[in-house]
Amino acid sequence: MSFDADEFKQQFPLFAQAENRQLVYLDNAATTQKPQAVIDAICDFYRHSNANTHRSSHRLARRATEMVERVRGRAAGFLHAASAREIVFCRGATEALNLLAYSLCSEMQPGDEIVISTAEHHANIVPWQMMAQRHRLILRYVPHTAGIPQFDRLGEVLSERTRVVSLTGGSNALGLRPDLAGIARQLRDWRTPGRALRWIVDAAQLAAHEVVDVQKIGCDFLVCSAHKFYGPTGIGLLYGRESLLRAMPPWQGGGEMIAEVDLYSSHYADLPHKFEAGTSPLAAIAGLGAALEFLANSDRDAMAAHEQRLMLWLHRELATLPGLRVISQPQHNLGIVAFTPGNGSAADLMHWLDGRDIAVRVGHHCAQPLIRAAGETATVRASVAAYNTQRDVEVFVQALRDYLQLAESPQSAPPQPGADWGLDDLSVLQVEQLASQRDWQDRYRELMRWGKSIRAKPEIRRPENLVRGCESEAWLVHREQGGRHYFALDSDSRVVKGLGALLLSQIDGRSAEEIRALDLSQMFADLGLEKHLSRSRSNGFYALLRQALAQAS
């Protein structure tokens, strides 16, 4: 089985643009790039077939309607559904899960139970929380160890009152792929004709990396989003067994999903249209059809094997880098490596990588329970797709090595808790030195070095000293002596410390009049920081400046 990632990548025009030729795109769990075939299908629809569907008999409407139902049939084949009537178009997996939560829970009784896991995306937690509160239902979680669900212990939380089991097919934060066959075996005794227990699979990540067969999985419902598997945004799929969809009440009301309306009651359209209120995203559906055809003509087994090789290589290499804590595990992983830097913040590292034209994602990834259980508030996530090459991951790892080399340095010993805060020595920091750096990478590196001059100050980390508006937490304190103003700063972010050192090097020890006379915003712009730092980082500098000016006044 051979796969040429470079040849595959040529089908994606974004990478051929001059500004993107060196781009290393490792943010595929958030969204994938689009092949030319998908872009062409969207443009072709607007050029040749743009009309609303189903309710008109003119030529363009017929053509649009035929396209929608043709794509629906292709989507049924993509998921191995028994019929096109089992495919409902939604805006994405999030909307599909909200639809299921609303429709299924509306017929439950107080005290009925819903089982989810700590590894779920917020889209598979929040709708169930909302419905549990509204209908007085009970949420139960699969037993877990340090936040990692033990899916083989699912049976421990099932009961006669369990009505819904809604579980991920692959974690977007850690890449963890549950054993769906094992889950099906545990559910078998509970899914009898006399028990109304429904099994939902959130396949938003799974469908991007594996062939999905709902018949083989044995689930009742499955959801996914096209933009995760090379399709357009704004369109996703809800699969449901026909008998169950037919019995479910509709979620939204409006056009298309109505067969007949009188003043006090309405009759709903047949499947699947009773769940598709309003005008569908027709161009996105056309793009979805092209994405499904694109995947059907691709060697998906070879693509998956290539992604696994990259993912395993990344885990092996990152495990050798001192200063990184790798959170994800390579076993049963769909293609994600998640980690945190030991020195500095995850956001600092993201900005460093962005300066190298490497796209990753930093945050809780809409999986806060899982990230918190891992002892973190944010991780760096790199996620692979079939168009990623060995060069991509090598460039990424080398950038990490460079960052860690820059970030490693002993911090000054902090004072004992409870001691009065002291001043940092900023006398060696010269703005001219920062301005003289040849390019943005060198200037960023110098700014990181400046951050080392700000020692840790746990004694000032109090709510009243917190700076509002910084992307990373920062604390600023102030005192006045003899008409002069002195400041101290602390943050977990090396970049925020660097920006704080820049600010304090200009204002520390000055009078209020001298501080007000400084044009610090212009200095920030002249150094190119406003241009090259993200908006949130720039906002952080101005938040520090505002608080310092308020304190000095």
366 is catalytic: yes
CB count within 10 Å of CB 422 equals 13
- Sequence-distant contacts of 444-450: CB under 8 A, at least 24 apart: 444/351, 444/352, 444/355, 444/532, 445/406, 447/495, 447/498, 447/499, 447/502, 447/529, 448/344, 448/348, 448/352, 448/406, 448/407, 448/494, 448/495, 448/498, 449/406, 449/498, 450/497, 450/498, 450/501, 450/502
Structure tokens given for 157: 């939380």
First to last CA, the chain: 70
Please give the DSSP secondary-structure letter assigned to residue 169: S
Secondary structure class of 497 (helix, strand, coil):
helix
Burial of 363 (0-12, 13-18, 19+ CB in 10 A): middle
Q: Closest Cα partner for 24 from 313, 307, 356? A: 356
Residue 477: which of 485, 176, 469 has the closest Cα? 485
Residue of 90, 105, 366, 470 marked active site: 366
The candidate with the shortest Cα–Cα distance to 470, out of 540, 524, 534, is: 540
Structure tokens at 415: 């004072």
Distance, CA of 347 to CA of 472 (rounded, Å): 8
> Which distant-in-sequence residues (6+ apart) come within 8 Å of 502 by Cβ?
429, 431, 434, 447, 450, 541
- Count other Cβ atoms within 10 Å, centred on residue 38: 27
Catalytic residues: 366
